[in-house]
Chain A
Amino acid sequence: MDKFEKGIIAASIVISMVLFFSVLVARSSYKADVPECIPADNIYTEGKAVMLDKNTWQLYYVARMWLFDPAEVEIPVGSEVDLYVTSPDVVHGFNIASKNVNMMAVPGAITKTTVTFDKPGEYPITCHEYCGMFHQIMQGKIIVR
């Protein structure tokens, strides 16, 4: 094999390893959370916000054609929030772009992730899975003060 071919193959392997270990570093030291699908015998049918203590919240979202319930939630800065999402009709998306939240709302299942809102502001929630005629108006909001 030509020495330049060997060099290019070696460089490709090294760069691939750099990218791979960067993902591992992000996964471990930065505590990037991955949504999980939790088993559910009794699916809730109405959205609600539950305050466990001042900085710990559970938000139960129902994504249905074509709204999020609750549509707007206000929480204090620094809150650690467990987000639960389900759907009574079709598959919806649940995306908070500025917090890397990317979940699916699936009928008959509950998707969960945990997010800490450490900066004040408005965090728009959008449906990013086409769900019908008014998919584009399906939005919600988390207000952090």
Chain B
Amino acid sequence: MAQDNFTPPDEKFVPRGAVAFFALLMLIILVIWFAIYFIMLSRT
């Protein structure tokens, strides 16, 4: 039976993948944003 194989969720679960993805996303956004920012400033 399926219920016999049920395992309770791990209460110490850490979403490492989601955190890493978020950190990478923010890093890429900051790199692109500041690259354009300094190009624009150099033209003023």
B2 contacts the other chain (CB 8 A): no
Name the contact of B44 in the complex, choosing from A11, A22, A31, A97 (C-beta under 8 A): A31
Within B1-44, the residues touching A (CB, 8 Å) are 14-15, 18-19, 22, 26, 29-30, 33-34, 37, 40-41, 43-44
Chain A: CB-nearest residue to B33: A19
Name the contact of B43 in the complex, choosing from A7, A15, A100 (C-beta under 8 A): A100
- A50 vs B10: C-alpha distance when bound (angstroms): 76
Q: Which 3 A-B pairs have the closest CB atoms?
A: A100-B43, A32-B44, A30-B41
Chain A residues at the B interface, C-beta cutoff of 8 Å: 4, 7-8, 11, 15, 18-19, 22, 26, 30-33, 97-100
